[in-house]
Structure 1
């Protein structure tokens, strides 16, 4: 697939190693927060953001990492925690989204039929995959980012990746294919074309929040 970053072509042992590294890095974010907050009074308000500077980076081990945690209440979905880390020394950064309660494996399918649908909320954790048939997919993995956005924001993420591939492509046919995909997505953003978006997540921490979204497993 044009935008697929599937790890199926990797040797299984390497894939397992990368997944393990990602889990450890996300776990490190939680541990760093817990350790830093252990000896201080901490009041966390819904919708407010708390940051901790001068923390140990899980990659370079320097005390140059900034941690971020934020909790938001999403209507019809519940409380969501957003975690992030960014190191000013080595440039390492990661983010993830976690629901307050476990929801089990999920699959959401949504049909974008007009400009109003662009405002529909989308929650994507690092273990979630977002697919747009005949366009591409945002795959989970070591470098995957969790985020809370909307349909428009998701489409813009796809556009950014297609533009990058277009600029890097040496073959004229690949550049033409990228240009056609960009035209299609621009038409969707103008409300002139329909588009199907699918979100799947084995952890249950991703969702398309709309009554129009069809939910499966």
Structure 2
């Protein structure tokens, strides 16, 4: 059975279409409500801008019990994902959401957290009403057993209904999935505060819950002493120059938790500072990563670098974007939150290509006729502007805002000032220091 696009399936739906025509599989299965047999229907489909999923529904003709859920048909991702959506207007309630069975949802304003349970393919409004239905299920019993608890739960239900009707705005939805298989729809042009996606490495506890913890044999193998383990230094040039040495040291793969090697090399960026290039490759699960990290003391001020790209030659300027850097290109509505893409040492053109490829591979992995024309037009316009910037057809401004002043754009006029680039040092806000953990440091 192959995965069909939602749009292709919808085009087949008519009054005479049956389950077989739509690619639906039927399986007789046990009803957990009455103990008799009901019917489970499975539909394998692909969701635009996301990946393949399995939509399941169950119905029992004997007792009338029914249920539906969605499960990811793909593999567990290398990293977990956390989506944050700020719902500010009624049309935001129509944003599509895929909540895998490993994803937990939090409504920040209500301090309400819905733990991971069955998967859903819905929208923001549908998600809220599902929570309302779940909370309402035992209200009559609560009213008799504990009137005080009943009142508090009813207050939450009323607020959720107001939110779903667009009467209580704005509010914030957080979707956290350690498996990386959940998703909230992104609309091109969203402001930074409105939608964000963060990827993170799972903790050992999260890996264990997902069934990814190493077996006893693997754990024994991983923890066993390795002959000549430690840091190995390989020279690739002048043995007296530390920058010509590549250090290799044992590490633990963040994906499968087995032993792997991490390679590290120091390199000097002219008119900036020394940075460390690190790469990890796990031979067991295939995990790969490349990062660039800056060293030295934490500076007293943050730094904002603004480059006006007025000539195609500016695209070849070297660029270092640290993990704490926010990258903006206002002319093409591009705004990357800190942490996106990790640390990168590339060129102006290279960072735009990486953004384009990242969106193409992860956000726009599938296309479908099910996507409304407005969204299609927005994505088409966005990608056209990105490609025009890559090809040097338009002038644009690239802004690197780094509270740790660890990012850099090459000054081709160095040591003289660059007429197309401005560098501004600024005092970090309390919130920025708090995010960086600097407020907790005792000097």
CA contact (8 A) 1:68 1:85 kept: yes
Which residue of structure 2 lines up, in the alignment, with residue 198 of structure 1? 399
TM-score, normalised via structure 2 length = 0.38
Matched, 1:62 2:258: yes
3-state secondary structure, aligned to 2:230: helix
The structure where helix makes up a greater share of residues is 1
Question: 1:168–1:184: structure 2 CA closer, same or farther, 3 Å change rule?
Answer: same
Higher relative contact order structure (alpha carbons within 8 Å, sequence separation ≥ 6): 1
- Pair 1:75 & 2:306 matched: no
Report matched runs for 1:86-125 at 5 Å.
86-102=281-297, 103=299, 104-125=301-322
Q: 1:136: which partner in 2?
A: 334
Higher CA-based Rg: 2
Distance 1:136 1:191, change over 3 A: closer
- The answer on 1:153 being equivalent to 2:350 is yes
Alignment length (residue pairs) = 198
Contact 1:166 1:178 in 2 (8 A): no
Deviation at 1:120, TM superposition (A): 1.1
2:386 aligns to what SS in structure 1? Answer: helix
Distance 2:345 2:245 in 1: 14
Give 2:381's aligned residue. 180
Q: Distance in 2 between matches of 1:151 and 1:41?
A: 32
Q: Residue 203 of structure 1 aligns to a residue in which SS?
A: coil
Q: CA deviation at 1:85?
A: 2.3
Taking the aligned partners of 2:384 and 2:242, their CA distance within structure 1 comes to 39
Q: Distance in 2 between matches of 1:54 and 1:152?
A: 34
**Closer/same/farther in 2, CA of residues 203 and 85 from structure 1, 3 Å limit:** farther
Q: What's the RMSD between the two structures over aligned residues?
A: 3.7
Structure 1 residue 118, shift from structure 2 partner: 0.4
Distance 1:66-1:158 versus aligned 2 partners, 3 A rule: same
Deviation at 1:7, TM superposition (A): 5.9
Consecutive unaligned residues of structure 2, counting only runs of 5 or more, are: 1-80, 86-104, 112-173, 179-197, 204-228, 412-417, 427-443
State TM-score, norm by structure 1: 0.71
CA distance in 1, matches of 2:356, 2:394: 15
List gaps (5 residues or longer) in structure 1: 25-34
